[in-house]
Structures are given as structure tokens and as C-alpha cells.
Structure 1
Amino acid sequence: MKTHLWGAICASALAFATATLEAAPVSGQGTWETTLLPRDLTGDGVADAYYDTVLDITWLADANLAATEAFGTAGINAGTMAWDTANTWIANMNAVSYLGYSDWRLPTLSPINGSAFDDNFAYDGRTDSGYNITAPGSAHPGSTASEMAHLFYNTLGNTGWYDTSGNTTGCTAPDYCLTNTGPFANIQPSNYWSGLEYASNTNRAWDFGFYDGNQLTYLKSFTRYAWAVRPGDVSAVPLPAAVWLFGTGLMGLFGAGVRRRTR
């Protein structure tokens, strides 16, 4: 602990601190404490997933499962992979009915205007490309069009790299704008693939930056992280609230050590 604190203070150890310190759950930030319900799918008293009552989807508790469980998928490096590999990873996960389910997928998005994607870049959330999509105060506050944007801005209450006027917000290393991870383990302050191809150029796919809150399209050959979700709720052993909160407290204490092993 002292080593990490000293590394955060000393300029000579800044790189070390950046690689080891991680964001943690923040009580009162966002809606996660009431809108993410823990689901124990193995009966061991630990949440394996969280049901999102707003989006009506279930998120895996481990946001970088691919770093430790590749399901026989080649081309994964510490959890990062090209878009086609990410889809193969999901398919292999479903082939073995991971945690009892065979309908896992990558997070998705739909047009924010309800009809057609607008990929013109904007800071105020009025288009599908840019910052503050679904953020409170944006052009479309509360929109659930983008599952990852809604999780980042609304559920976890994080702030984008730019505000709705295009001014920087002061996000800093090591986690930049990812100040709250909620109950999840191993959310990486980096880019995550969506499961949606970019219709205007099928060599590209949509992704979301959990370090800056930016939604864009990238070449499918780029490497990104992958987070598995599934539609609806799951049949699970309910966890008492006290157990859930205790678990998130432990995650805050030990999250950095866990994430070091998954990078």
C-alpha cells in the first residue's frame, strides 16, 4: 500500500502507479446501488452477474472475463481482441452455456434519434458519435439507446472527457474518467467493442471508451476489450443486501490486485 501511495506521489514512479491503481465503487454516484441487482448463478454466495433494471439486460460481474477465460478462442491478449475474435469468444461462451446460459452477446446500441444512426461527431449527446450520449443534461438525457453509454454515464455516474460544451473536464490518470466502477470487477479504463457493425463501412464496428466516455467506430482489426451481457434477467440465487454491499466493499479493497492479474 505504501509503495503504491509513494508511486502516486513521486514523478519517477508515475508509470507504476498508473499500472496498478484502479477505480472503485463509489456510493451515491449514479444509480447503480438501486438499478443493478446482484445475481448468484453458481450458488456460492458471490454475484456472478448484475441485472440492469433500466436496460433489462444482465451484465457479467467480470468486465474482463476474456483475460482469464478464453473459451478456446485464439487471438486474445490479456482480454483484448479484434472484433471478429470478440464475436468468436461470445460464440464459444454460448457453446458451453456459460453459467447456464447460451444467449450471451456483446453490448449493443440503436440510433439515438430512433430511426437512423447519425455519425457526425458531437459533444452534447445529440448524435451517435461523440461524448455525453445519455448523460444528464445532454440533448437526450436518460436515453437508453447505447447500453455501454447508459451504464457509464447514467448508472455509474461517470463524466466524459469533455462536457456538453466541448470543454475538458479534468479526467486524470490512471483511470481518467472512469471514477466509479460500481459493483463490477475488472472494468478497464479503455475501449470496449459493441456487437454492432458500422453499416456505412462494414470494415468497422462501434465501440465505447470506458476511460473517456466516447462512442465511435473503429476498424474491426483494432484490439478492444469485450464484455458479455445477455437479454433480460436470469434465474439466480438472490443475494441479501448486506452480502452484496460487503462484497462491493471487498472489491474496493482488493480490486487493484485482481485487475493487475487480468491486464
Structure 2
Amino acid sequence: MSIVKARSASLSAMSASSLKVALGGVFACVVSLAHGVPIPMQGTWTTTLLPRDLNADGTADAYYDTTLNITWLANAMGTLGTVYDDALPGNGESTWTAAKTWAASLDLYGVTGWRLPRFLGSGPGPSEVSHMHCVTLGNRTPGSCNSGPPPWNFVNSGPFQNLNNNWVWLDEEDPSSGPPPHAWAFAGDAVSAYHTSEVITADFSAWAVRDGDVPLPAIPEPGTWALMALGIAGLAAARFKGRT
């Protein structure tokens, strides 16, 4: 069963994103009542997501997905506080063009090659985001994300930051819709869990992924540490001798 939800022709004049804006107050209340939290016993994330500390400061900057063989940025709202937060500045969401530009230009402690999530296969169908939502985080039954009672959002946020009621841009444009131009997104708020084609000027989350694992900072071998210590001791001795 596809998790792409077809939109009714009677709603063709109002996109899902327009409905989201129109319901502004309602969505604000829903968001305030639901906060994604890590749920260790739900989904596969505790065994399939491996933390990657790219600057060796003790905090994970990304997570390698051993199932999909991609790496996810730890922050699910990557453009928050950047110049790419362009649709409604300060809300951490971006237009599709800005999201793609940000991901392609992202340099995270020397790691480049980022992009937006994609469909798994020729699509539309399951995507990297829906797999994260349904399988890795276990928020829905795989293959039927929009079935069952609400809430449909990222109730289990796993180890990620800023992941709860997110509509997430995908990398693919939808040439069958428009004008104006449309692109695909995954709607993951409290009343949604499906893929939808939206105008590219809508504002959704930009969540960067990268093919494969990321290179980790080199950790000196014990012998290297010993040589460094000897070198430092030698420099200190030379300075002391020079002063006497």
C-alpha cells in the first residue's frame, strides 16, 4: 500500500500547505500539545542509527542509517537561523529552492555532499523520510502511515533535534503539477502522515541527508600520543635551558 495520499480534485485550488496556513491557530494548539521525545523501545533507531561526532566535541552532529546507508543531519530543521530560513524568517522552514541550495552548499566540519531526502525507487512511493517516520522511529505501521487513529506526527523523535510536527521537503520536483512549479514533501504533523505535492514557495523543514557514512575525525594512536608528549617535553626543556 502506497503512503502517497491523493488529493481530491475539489481541493485543487487549495494545497495542503494552504490548509495548514488557514488552520494556523488550530495547528498552533496541536503543536503545543505534542512534543516529539525519544522512545527507546519504539522502532529500530537505537540499533540502526549510529551517532557521528564530526568535530569531536562529545555531541552527535549526524546519524548514520545502517538500513538505508545514508547519514542524517542531527538537526531536522537545518536552515533554522540561517539565510535560507526564507519563507517565514525565524520559523526554521524554507522554500524548496532555498532548502535544496542550503543542502547542496552545506559544509559540516569539512563534510560535504549533502542533499534533501528522496523517494525510495522511482516514486512517488515510500521515501527516506517516510521510512524514518514509519520504520526507524516506529511512528506508524510500515506501508500505511496514514492509517489508524491520530496523532500521526513524529511522536518518537529518536535522537534528532527539532523533529515533531514537521513537513519535510523532498529532493524531487513534481513535473505533473502546476503551474506554478511543485515539489514533493512529506507531511508529518499531528493530522498528517503522507506525501504531498506542494508549490515550491511553501515553507517546510529542510532535513539534510548524505549518501553513505561520513568520515570520522582521526583519533591518534597511543604511540602518536607518546611522541606528541615527548615533543612537548622536549620543547619545554629547550625553553628552560635557554633561560638558564
TM-score band, normalised by shorter chain: 0.5 to 0.7
Judged with a 3 Å threshold, the aligned counterparts in structure 2 of structure 1 residues 17 and 148 are, in CA distance, closer, same or farther, namely: closer
Equivalent in the alignment of 2:154 = 178
Map 1:42-53 to 2 at 5 A: 42-53=55-66
In structure 2, relative to structure 1, the CA distance for the partners of 1:195 and 1:152 (3 Å cut) is same
Aligned to 1:207: 185
Q: Cα–Cα, structure 1 residues 74 and 60, in superposed 2: closer, same or farther, change >3 Å?
A: closer
| Residue correspondence of structure 1 range 107-122 to structure 2 within 5 A | 107-111=117-121, 117=123
Aligned residue for 2:63, secondary structure, equals strand
* Match among 98, 119, 127 for residue 108 of structure 2: 98
SS at match of 1:197: strand
Matched residue, 1:220: 200
Which sections of structure 2, spanning at least 5 residues, go unmatched?
A: 1-26, 219-244
Shift of 1:224: 0.9
Q: How many equivalent pairs are there?
A: 186
Aligned in 2, Cα 1:217/1:165: closer, same or farther, shift over 3 Å?
A: closer
User: Percent of aligned positions with the same letter in both sequences?
Assistant: 36
Task: Name the counterpart of 1:250.
Answer: none
Helix, strand or coil for the counterpart of 1:33?
Answer: helix
* Unaligned 5+ runs, structure 1: 1-13, 119-127, 134-145, 239-263
Task: Find the aligned partners of 1:17 and 1:110 in 2 and give their Cα distance.
Answer: 30
Q: Cα gap change, 1:165/1:42 in structure 2, threshold over 3 Å: closer, same or farther? A: closer
Say if 1:35 and 1:204 are closer, same or farther in 2 by CA, change over 3 A: same
SS of 1:88's equivalent in the other structure is: helix
Q: Deviations over 1:163-197 (max 9, x none)?
A: 94975x2214xxx5322011111114131101111
For 1:33, the equivalent position in structure 2 comes to 46
1:192 to 135, 144, 168: 168
Offset of 1:199 from its aligned partner?
A: 3.3
Q: How does 1:32-181 map to 2 (within 5 A)?
A: 32-68=45-81, 70=82, 72-73=83-84, 75-76=86-87, 77=89, 78-93=91-106, 97-111=107-121, 117=123, 128=125, 133=126, 146-159=127-140, 164=144, 169-172=148-151, 176-181=152-157
Give the deviation of 1:40 after TM superposition: 0.4
When the two chains are superposed, the root-mean-square deviation of aligned CA atoms in Å is: 2.8
Q: Contact 1:156–1:182 (CA<8 Å) still a contact in 2?
A: yes
Deviation at 1:87, TM superposition (A): 1.5
Deviations 1:8-38 (A, max 9, x none): xxxxxx9668427512000111000000000
Q: 2:146 touches 2:193 (CA, 8 Å); kept in 1?
A: no
Structure 2 CA distance for aligned equivalents of residues 99 and 182 of structure 1:
23
